[in-house]
Amino acid sequence: MTELHLWLRHEVRPTERRTPIVPSDARRLVESGVTLTVEESPQRIFPVEEYEAAGCRIAPAGSWVSAPEAAVVTGLKELPDQPGELTHRHIYFGHAYKGQPGAGALLRRFAAGGGTLLDLEYLVDDDGRRLAAFGFWAGYLGAALAVLQHRGRLATPLTPTSKEELDEILRPVAGDEEFTALVIGALGRSGRGARVAFLTAGIEATPWDLAETRDLDRGALLAHDVSAREAVDGDTGASYRLTSYCGGVPAVPNDFRYRFSWAPAGVLGALRAPARYIQDGAETVAERPWEVTRRHVVDDEAFEVYPNRDSVPFVEQYGLPDAWKPQTFVRGTLRLEGWLRAWDGVFEELKAGDDTRIAALAGELAAAYPTTDADRDRVVLAVSLDVRGDAGRSWSGSYLLDLVGDEEESAMARCVSRPLALGVRHILDGSLPAGLNRAAETAARSAQWLRELALEGVEFTLRVDE
User: At 186, which CATH number?
Assistant: 3.40.50.720
Residues 192 and 316 placed together within one structural domain of the fold: no
Binning pLDDT at 50, 70 and 90, where does residue 2 land?
Answer: low
Residues 287 and 412 placed together within one structural domain of the fold: yes
Average pLDDT over residues 353-379: 90
Q: Is the pLDDT confidence value at 229 over 50?
A: no
Per-residue pLDDT, 254: 92
Under 8 Å between Cβ of 182 and 221: yes
Q: Residue 223 domain-assigned?
A: yes
Q: Residue 297 domain-assigned?
A: yes
Per-residue pLDDT, 277: 96
Q: Residue 39 domain-assigned?
A: yes
State the alpha helices, DSSP H only, in 393-442: 411-428
Among 100, 122, 144, residue at a domain's last position: 122
- Using the Cα atoms of residue 72, residue 14, residue 41 and residue 33 in order, give the sign of their dihedral: negative
Binning pLDDT at 50, 70 and 90, where does residue 22 land?
Answer: very high
Cβ atoms within 10 Å, residue 45: 11
Distance CA 137, CA 409 (A): 48
Cβ atoms within 10 Å, residue 46: 18
All residues at 6 or more sequence positions from 442 whose CB lies less than 8 Å from its CB, including other chains: none
Distance CA 389, CA 391 (A): 5
Distance CA 206, CA 308 (A): 41
Residues 335 and 436 placed together within one structural domain of the fold: yes
Instruction: Give the residue among 372, 379, 369 at the shortest CA–CA distance from 335.
Output: 379
Average pLDDT over residues 324-343: 94
Residues 337 and 266 placed together within one structural domain of the fold: yes
Residues 68 and 140 placed together within one structural domain of the fold: no
Residues 288 and 393 placed together within one structural domain of the fold: yes
Q: Residue 131 domain-assigned?
A: no
Distance CA 270, CA 267 (A): 5
Under 8 Å between Cβ of 231 and 156: no
- In the chain, how many domains are there? 3
Q: What is the dihedral of CA 172, 175, 179, 184, to 10 degrees?
A: -20
Bridge partners (DSSP) listed for residue 61: none
Whole-Å CA distances, 167 to 149, 195, 232, 372, 464 = 14, 14, 20, 63, 26
Least confident of 190-204, 214-228, 301-315, 348-362: 214-228
All residues at 6 or more sequence positions from 370 whose CB lies less than 8 Å from its CB, including other chains: 259, 260
Per-residue pLDDT, 243: 95
Residue 39's Cβ-count burial label (10 Å; 0-12, 13-18, 19+) is buried
Give residue-wise pLDDT tens across range 119-165. Answer: 888 787 777 777 777 788 888 999 999 999 989 898 888 888 888 99
State the alpha helices, DSSP H only, in 151-213: 163-170, 189-200, 210-213
Q: Which amino acid is at 109?
A: R
Binning pLDDT at 50, 70 and 90, where does residue 228 land?
Answer: very low
Residues 219 and 243 placed together within one structural domain of the fold: no
Q: Is 101 left (phi over 0), alpha (psi -120 to 50) or beta?
A: beta
Average pLDDT over residues 74-90: 94
Among 175, 199, 231, residue at a domain's last position: 231
Residues 378 and 305 placed together within one structural domain of the fold: yes
Average pLDDT over residues 260-268: 85
Residues 191 and 335 placed together within one structural domain of the fold: no
Instruction: Give the residue among 322, 169, 304 at the shortest CA–CA distance from 249.
Output: 304
Mean pLDDT over each residue of the chain, to the nearest integer:
87
Residues 312 and 399 placed together within one structural domain of the fold: yes
Residues 225 and 252 placed together within one structural domain of the fold: no
Q: Residue 167 domain-assigned?
A: yes
Domain of 142, in residue numbers: 136-231
Per-residue pLDDT, 98: 67
Distance CA 182, CA 204 (A): 9
Q: Residue 128 domain-assigned?
A: no
With H, G, I as helix, E, B as strand and everything else as coil, classify residue 247.
strand
Residues 313 and 448 placed together within one structural domain of the fold: yes
Active centre residues (catalytic): 77, 95
Among 231, 261, 293, residue at a domain's last position: 231
Per-residue pLDDT, 336: 94
Average pLDDT over residues 428-454: 79
Average pLDDT over residues 184-200: 86
CATH number at residue 378: 3.30.360.10
Q: Is the pLDDT confidence value at 221 over 80?
A: no
Q: Residue 127 domain-assigned?
A: no
Distance CA 207, CA 103 (A): 35
Per-residue pLDDT, 1: 46
Cβ atoms within 10 Å, residue 47: 13
Distance CA 39, CA 183 (A): 38
Cβ atoms within 10 Å, residue 323: 12
Q: Is the pLDDT confidence value at 59 over 90?
A: yes
Average pLDDT over residues 228-239: 56
Q: Residue 345 domain-assigned?
A: yes
Instruction: Give the residue among 304, 269, 466, 293 at the shortest CA–CA distance from 380.
Output: 304
